[in-house]
Structure formats: structure tokens, C-alpha cells
A and B are shown apart, each in its own frame.
Chain A
């Protein structure tokens, strides 16, 4: 009974800290960083769970873009709107888009789908949408390896003067997607319509991004209708997609057809930098908004 009557003391090593605290943006980032192992674990979980009971397993992540590729190539061949090595052109944009759209759609439902977790375990909830971004990114990287293999086998010549832009473009894409994921996930807790609205939006967004068509073809079209061509660049994914196309497809024009802006790597870098800066801003706002929503997530579910 001595243990009960006279509790032994452990040295008070830590400070008292409030359990429910408003975080600054940097504090939030630091907290997420502290839980990076959880982010890794949850990302791995997303991947394992998805393919747990399928024979093809990870190969399924290749099937979807491949299937779309076949469909689009066929349709464009029928329309006579294709151009040489059209498949490689499409894949450049399609892989980026698959990453962005999958990440956004899965992240949006991440909190509502993990309601029991949010109500019972304490952890930075921002980890949930970010883990979906992580798993989409893993798929993207795997698909990219497969794509690279295809490029090697077909002896396709990429443009090495642009290739260094790819990691930058990818980081920009991750920033944009993460910011949107952090905004959409709590929004979907408050109104479940968010998910359905987003599904529609993503469909339209795909066609507003120059993935199947050429950027240089869309610009004059818009200008003929009195809309400045730069409107296309307001879409944050445009800059990422055209950078991938320029570097991997390897040329800004083919057989006299203008495909992409021909202003050199620095022009692309400039566009990416602007989008990147805006993305960081969105991310900061998203973290702030998420922090506000966080306090009510557990009971709103």
C-alpha cells in the first residue's frame, strides 16, 4: 500500500504545456515535422491497404494511366488531332495530373473517412490529408520509373537543358496539392458536398490543363476570343505540366506545329517560381485555416 499512500516522485523533466493550443503556422509545420514518422506510417498504410487483397497489387497503379493513355491516343487518332510521339506527350501531363487529382480527391475525404481516429487519438490531424498526398506521390514516382523505362526502351531523346527543372516542378506541384488538401479536408467535414463538388471540378480542371492539347494552340484560340493567353497560367498545374512536357517530350515544336513556349529554361523557371510562391502562400493560409478548424473537428464528426 505504500505506493498508494506515498507516491514516488519522478523528476519533473518537462514543462507543463497546454493540451489544446492555437499554433502559429511555423509551430504547426514543426508539429507535423515531429510526427513525420506517423506521416510515413500512414502513407505506407494507405498503400498497403489499397492493394492488400489484389493479385496485381502495385501494378494496378500503372493500369489506370495506361488505360487512359490508350483511350486518349485512340480518340485523338480518330479525330486526326494527334502528332508524332503523341503517347509520350500525353503521359507527361497525365502522370502529373493523376498525382494531383488523386491526392486532392483522397485527401478531401481523409478526415471524414477516419472519423473514429480523429475522435479517439490525439495527433496533428493535418497528417491525414498529407498522408494521402504522400501515397499519391509514391504512385507518381513508381509510374515515373515505369515511364522512364519506356523512354529508354523507345530511345526517346529528352531535352537535358530542361530536365533539371523537373524536381522544381514536382515540388511546386506538391506544395499546391498540399495546400488544397489542407483546405478541402476540413471543408468536407463541415459540408460533405465538398467531395461531390470537387469530383465535378476535377473533371473540368483536367480539360483546362494543357495535357491532351498543346499550350501554344490554346493561347491563340483564347486570344481570338479576346481572352489573354496567360489565363492558362493561372491554373497552377499548367506550369508544372508544360515543364514536364518541355523537358521530357524534348522540343517546343514538331513538324512545324508549335507545342510549347520557346523562351528557354529560365522562362519556365520564372513561371514555376511565381506559382511556387503563390503555393507557399496558399499553404500558409491552409495551415492557419486548418488550425482553426482543428479545434472543432472531433465534435463536428
Chain B
């Protein structure tokens, strides 16, 4: 047992104490008794460190995102927290009932019906049968599977799997909820439902740990994020900063490998971002052909003379519809110092239906450094008042 750290507030939900995990990968697969006996004493293993001395504390009521690319150790960390894997050294302490959703349909048996699986799944999470029976309707209702609940789950789509799994996990009244990627599978309606349930969990002061490589989700729901890279904890900070660091790692440029701190302490932060249009007093939507502009608030800790603004307009799936920066436009941004605001005129909207998020990035030209980056900083919604369908509004007339 490792020593008890002195600074405990009594409000911690999860304490990860210097957790390391080393996987032993056998160079020759040793799964037979003969090889095991013959190979005794010889080292057939290659050690692969998946986590190195990762340590942090999550307070009750926090929502923490764990970011990292594939192989960064984020799932290993989650499995250690869930108690599925045993750390090679260090330990994990958890307070209260823990529910984990690590893979879609884990614990589901394909031949059994949805109903039978709900009971088994909940039993795996340690929930008494009586309690499951009492919440059964709620679970099925949340998953939206009323008609299919007595069908064998092998006939379910992957979305239906996730819905049922998530419905069971969130209806278990967990104090701590661990979620790994899975939410990306469900359809849009269900994702909204999940998000609103996660928000509700937050309001109720439950603790949530989300593992993902979607920075988007982290920004939406987390109040803190941890970035892992090759088993090392790179940063544990507010989502905005963590996401920036994560992106830099993702693009293979660790922010000045010697001193990651320097990156974190950016001299500039994008604050409030708002979309405006002429009729915003009377309606939320923009109509085709109306003008839109964006007001951006920026705070700096030192004067920046040569900022470049980079702007992306995307559709709701994140496809980039328009991308430009002030440098290419030959526009110069006046020196930024203290709290200032920028206005970007987007001009007349030539788009039809939908919501269009805007991504913003401010870059320092002299150093090439990204000062701040905000994805989905804001968005505008277009209401199609024409008779056409699609994304782009053309001005089509026919002559004959």
C-alpha cells in the first residue's frame, strides 16, 4: 500500500496515485503448457509501458475529459480507474458507486433479448434486481427501444447497442460515470439526449470522466481536461488550454518539448464570440441573402502587433465550407493590447438550411505560434426561405 497523501479534502471522487502500467508483450506467443514449461526462466517478454507515473485527483462533481491519440494510454488509464486492469505500481481510489461504459454492448449476449440483457448488464454493475425492475421502463424509454426490447440483441444495430448500454449505465444512479468514446456511435437525437443527461449529472454533482479524441466534446461538457501522450500526462488544465496542447501533439509538434509550460501561458485568449445579424431582435435565424458579422473579444497580457486571424465556417458535421486568414486577405489587424474586440464581416449568406459553426484561430505572425484556438466558437443558423434544397444558395433562373 502506498502512503496516504496528506492533502485530502474529503471531496475527492477519484484519486490516481502515481499509476504506472507496463504491459508484457510476449515476443513469441506463449499460450501452451509445453512452451510455458520449456520457456521457464527465460524472458520471452518485451515490456511496453502504457502509463508512466500518472497522478491526479478529481473532485466530486467535476467532469474531466481525457484526451489523447490512439495508443496514448487513455483507455488503459480508464480501465485502471474502472478496476478492470491492475496498475503495475501506484493505486486508484474511488468514492461511491462507479459505472463504466467502456465499449458498446460489453456484457451483452447476442442471443438474449434486450430485456434479459438489461438485467444482466445491470447485475454486472452491481445493481440489485429489484432496483433494475423498478427502473426498467425508464431505461427502455431512455434508449427508445420499446418495440425491440423483446428481440434478441443480435438483431440490433450498433446504435441501438450503445443506446441500451448508455441507458443502463446512466440509470444506475452512479456517483462516478466513466465513458469511453462510445457516444460517438449513436444518432444525433440520441447524442443530444446523452449530452443533456450528462449535463443533468453535472447539475446533480456527479463525477464524470470522458475518454475521447474528440476535442469538441471536451470543450462542450468538461470543466477540466487531461492530455496523455505515450503514457505520460502532458497537461491537466482547463479544456481550452488542454485542447490546444492536444492538437499540437496530434500534429506532431509537442509545444517546445523542453518547456511545455511556455505554450500554456499564451499571451492571448479569445473570450466572448457572438454572431450578429440585422434581424436578431425579432428572430434567431438568418434568411438566405442576409448579412452576418461576428464580434470577437480578445484579452492579451502583452501587446501583440502582428496577429493573424484564421476563420473557418463549417457545416454541422465539421466539413469546412470556407477557410481564410487575414494574411491571405491582405488585411492587417491593429495591434492588440489588453481587452479589445474584433469584428469580422462575413457578408451575405449564400447558404440554405442548417447550423453553421465557426472556428477561430489567432496566430502570431513573427513566431508562427498559435495564440488561441476555438472550435465552434459560435455558429449561425440559416432558415431556408427559398424553394430550393441543398447547402449552397445559387441564384438560378431559367430562360427559354
Looking at B27-35, B288-296, B329-337, B357-365, the stretch in contact with chain A turns out to be B27-35
Whether A19 contacts B80 by the Cβ 8 Å rule is yes
Residues of A within 8 A of B107 (CB): 117, 120-121
Q: In the complex the two chains form, is A193's CB within 8 Å of B92's CB?
A: no
Q: Which of A40-48, A170-178, A282-290 contacts B (4 or more CB under 8 A)?
A: A40-48
Return the CB mask of B105-149 against A: 1 if under 8 Å, else 0: 011010110001001100111101100000000000000000000
Chain A residues, Cβ within 8 Å of B11: 9, 12
Chain B residues with Cβ below 8 Å from A119 are 79, 84
CB <8 Å contact, A12 and B95 = yes
Whether B175 is near chain A, meaning CB under 8 Å from some CB there, is yes
Contact B116 A45 (CB under 8 A): yes
- B62 sits at the interface (CB 8 A): yes
Contact for A20 among B12, B15, B83, CB less than 8 A:
B83
Q: Are A121 and B124 in contact (CB under 8 A)?
A: yes
Q: List 18 A-B contacts (CB under 8 A).
A: A4-B63, A7-B63, A7-B223, A8-B202, A9-B11, A10-B60, A10-B175, A14-B95, A16-B95, A19-B82, A19-B91, A41-B119, A120-B103, A121-B100, A190-B31, A190-B36, A191-B33, A192-B31
* CB nearest neighbor in B for A118: B84
Q: Which residues of chain B are within 8 angstroms of A53 by Cβ–Cβ distance? A: 111
The distance in angstroms between the C-alpha atoms of A49 and B108, with both chains bound, is 12
B123 touching A7 by the CB < 8 A rule? no
CB pair B61–A17 under 8 Å, yes or no, is: no
Q: Enumerate chain A residues within 8 angstroms of B23, measured Cβ to Cβ.
A: 299
B15 CB to closest chain A CB (Å) equals 7
The interface residues of chain A lying within 8 Å CB-to-CB of B280 are none
6 residue pairs, one from A and one from B, having the closest CB atoms: A7-B61, A19-B83, A120-B106, A10-B205, A8-B205, A20-B86
- Tell me the nearest residue of chain A to B37, going by C-beta: A191
Q: Is B377 an interface residue (CB 8 A)?
A: no
Chain A contacts for B31, CB-based, 8 A: 190-192
Chain B residues 48-106 with CB under 8 Å of chain A are: 59-63, 79-87, 91-98, 100, 102-103, 106
Rounded to whole angstroms, the CA-CA distance of A194 and B34 in the bound complex is 11
List B contacts of A122 (CB < 8 A). 82-84, 98, 100
Alpha-carbon distance A136/B135, docked complex (angstroms): 31
* Interfacial chain B residues near A41, Cβ < 8 Å: 119-120, 123, 129
Which of A15, A37, A116 contacts B123 (CB under 8 A)?
A: A37
Whether B126 contacts A123 by the Cβ 8 Å rule is: yes
Secondary structure class of chain A's binding surface, majority of residues: helix
When chains A and B are docked, how far (Å) is the Cα of A40 from the Cα of B83? 23
CA distance A35 to B84 in the complex (A): 16
> A120-B103, A121-B107, A296-B86 in contact; A15/B95 too (CB < 8 A)?
yes
Q: In the complex, which of the residues A3, A9, A52 has the most CB atoms of chain B within 10 Å of its own CB atom?
A: A3
Whole-angstrom distance from the CB of B39 to the nearest CB of chain A?
11
Interface residues of A in 191-236 (CB under 8 A from B): 191-194, 197
The answer to whether residues A16 and B59 also contact, given A117-B107, A122-B82 and a CB cut-off of 8 A, is no
Question: B174 → chain A, closest Cβ, in Å?
Answer: 11
A38 engages B124 (CB within 8 Å): yes
Contact A48 B32 (CB under 8 A): no
Interface assignment of A157: CB less than 8 Å from any CB of chain B? no
Question: Which residues of A in the span 126-165 have a Cβ within 8 Å of any Cβ on B?
Answer: none
A195 shortest CB reach to chain B, Å: 11
Residues of A contacting B34 with CB < 8 Å?
A: 193
Q: Which of A19, A116, A120, A191 contacts B93 (CB 8 A)?
A: A19
A49 and B109 CA atoms in complex are apart in Å by 9
Q: Which residues of B contact A121 (CB under 8 A)?
A: 84, 100, 102, 106-107, 124-125
A74 at the interface (CB under 8 A from B): no
In Å, the complex CA distance between A122 and B126 comes to 9
A18 with B92, Cβ < 8 A, contacts A12-B10, A41-B123 known: yes
Q: Write the chain B residue with the least CB distance to A187.
A: B33
- A120 near B203 with CB under 8 A, answer no
Chain B residue contacts of A68, Cβ below 8 A: none
Take A4-B223, A42-B120 as given contacts and tell me if A298 and B84 are in contact as well, using a CB distance cutoff of 8 Å.
Answer: yes
Among B100, B112, B123, point to the contact of A48 (Cβ < 8 A): B112
- Looking at the assembled complex, report how far the CB atom of A14 sits from the nearest CB atom of chain B, in whole angstroms: 4
Q: Mark B203-235, 1 if CB is under 8 A from A, else 0.
A: 111100000000000000111000000000000
Q: Judging by beta carbons under 8 Å apart, are B112 and A49 in contact?
A: yes
Is B199 at the interface (CB under 8 A from chain A)? Answer: yes
CB distance from B61 to the nearest CB of A (A): 3
Q: A281 to nearest B CB, angstroms?
A: 25
Q: How far is the CB of B230 from chain A (nearest CB, A)?
A: 19
Contact (Cβ within 8 A) B120 A19:
no
A20 to chain B, nearest CB (A): 4
A5 at the interface (CB under 8 A from B): yes
How far, in Å, is A58 (CB) from chain B's closest CB?
16
- In the complex the two chains form, is A38's CB within 8 Å of B61's CB? no
Q: Which residue of B lies closest to A1 (CB)?
A: B223
CB within 8 A of A10: which of B33, B123, B129, B206? B206
Within the complex, the shortest CB–CB distance from A67 to chain B, in Å, comes to 26
Give chain A residues whose Cβ lies under 8 Å from the Cβ of B126: 34-35, 38, 123
State A121–B128 Cα separation when bound (angstroms).
Answer: 17
Q: A9-B11, A122-B83, A193-B34 are in contact. Are A16 and B94 (CB under 8 A)?
A: yes
The interface residues of chain B lying within 8 Å CB-to-CB of A13 are 96
Contact present for A19 and B81 (CB under 8 Å) = yes
Please report the C-alpha to C-alpha distance between residue A209 and residue B167 in the assembled complex, in whole angstroms: 51
The residues of A that contact B120 with a CB separation of less than 8 Å are: 38, 41-42, 45
Chain B contacts of A194 at CB under 8 A?
33
Question: CA separation between A197 and B123, bound complex, in Å?
Answer: 33
Residues of B within 8 A of A192 (CB): 31-32
Do residues A37 and B32 form an inter-chain contact, with CB atoms below 8 A? Answer: no
Complex Cα spacing A3 to B80, Å: 28
A295 close to B (CB within 8 Å): yes
Interface hub of A13, A42, A45, A190 (most chain B Cβ within 10 A): A45
Q: How far is the CA of A35 from the CA of B107 in the complex (A)?
A: 15
CB distance from B273 to the nearest CB of A (A): 14
A17 touching B175, Cβ below 8 Å:
no
